[in-house]
Chains A and B, each alone.
Chain A
């Protein structure tokens, strides 16, 4: 039956392993090279622009750089994770995972590349949002106000960067768990919009739940990051860690396990 001829060996000395930087570059490109990806990224910035405009026109009083920044950050928080969800789930929904994972069979490297690409993309959008917020502050100064340029480091790091990175991580975890674009987006909004309201209602009804809520509901736990002095207390950090374990670490681990095993058809 089988052929007795010795099997020639494949000479792989000339092809080093694909460097992760190249994979990150490819994934970054894949995030914005489709109409859906490109326009989503563009409309996020457009939305930041519109919201900043409304905020400047309709809200009375002086708008400091810090105020504009937190408004811009809030908008990003809702939509950056969608970019990541599309980047990850399209591999299954659009079926190009078949090719992606054939060209790089070490799936964990593709996952790492996607994550880093998602962070780069988010970073780019954040920088652009900061520039927009600065532009509106200049606009305020030109119209006779004297906005303050000083910003709280905690606002910048906790409220703007950390909060958005957490959002991206959650989007990432959800994507790998459901591996389907529409379902991923719905799940993300259920998590970010419905869950905190439900927790709020339950907290209003039961004071017992109110005490427990920040320990088990991630959105509630994160509130101190973007409100008040943007500096969670020790207990609030503990709540972020505990609820983050439930809503971030566990889904991320399960999602990763699923992605490593899933059969891309």
Chain B
């Protein structure tokens, strides 16, 4: 539905987006992932005509955004939840948008209810909103026109864990009903739970794209497993003998092998496993590795990720 075709945007000598092409399909959530300043926002701004591309183009359903009549009814956009007049109430902000799109004011009430802003909150002025409330309002704003395409820039920013879970369910349901969702994030965990397809961008260039499985498969066999057993020493020895890299981590071990290989090693060594899971860090390592030369800070030694590496 969204087709980005050889998009390039330069500001003087600085190239914000460098020859980027990808497509977002209906019925799927596409995650747009990259460190700060990677070019995600610029790409999304070009999609909705706020920024003119230097080269290339973006079409939505075959049309340029400029040529979509009453575009709010087709494409829901959240680029920056704070980019609203701080002197307006949440309800007034939605009312203005509803009037622009020619929607009845009942639609405003529906959306406020959907994102869980109550009467008291919706009549407060935006300057008194927390970031999470602004974000909910922004999502309501994007959904107002019942669009078939959603473009959301860092929508989870500022939401509490319950809010993030709520949004995940909302977007999943939206895509299941045939909608096209593109959401950006700089947090891998946020995206990998919900995205059917991921696009990794660093320094304005796409470094990888595909679903989670194919991304991991492409990461030259760097599958890792986190395992805890009643006898870590024996298990570690067995795995090392099998040619797998083993290092202690927390109460257990981090192994350069698939969970299946670790399970088989434990079976043959007769060690009881108390915890066995795929190292979610695999994708994270990949993400950091792919974008590291472009990230602002060098990645500190691989040895100390947050214990467990539980996907959010």
A interface vs B, CB < 8 Å? 1-3, 5, 7-12, 15-18, 22-23, 25-26, 29-30, 33-36, 90, 94-99, 101-106, 263-264
Contacts and interface: CB of A to CB of B under 8 A. Distances in A.
Given A95-B82, A98-B80, A103-B97, A1 B69 contact: no
Contacts of B3: 7
A35 to B, nearest CB: 5
Interface residues of B, number: 48
A3 B202 CA distance: 21
A11 to B, nearest CB: 8
Contacts of B1: 7-8, 10
B270 interface: no
B166 interface: no
Nearest to B24: A3
Closest 6 CB pairs of A and B: A10-B61, A34-B87, A95-B83, A98-B83, A94-B85, A17-B69
A149 B98 CA distance: 46
Contacts of B77: 102
A36 B87 contact: yes
B264 interface: no
Interface string B82-110: 11111110001000110111100000000
A94 B23 contact: no
Interface of B: 1, 3, 21-23, 25-26, 45, 48-51, 59-63, 65-66, 68-74, 77, 79-80, 82-88, 92, 96-97, 99-102, 141, 148-149, 206, 209
A30 B73 CA distance: 21
Nearest to A30: B96
A26 B85 contact: no
A98 B88 contact: no
Contacts of B88: 33-34
A15 B70 contact: yes
Given A3-B23, A18-B70, A105 B62 contact: no
A235 to B, nearest CB: 46
Nearest to A97: B83
A18 B99 CA distance: 10
B85 A1 contact: no
Contacts of A7: 1, 3, 23, 59, 61-62
Nearest to A25: B99
Contact of A10 (B60, B87, B97): B60
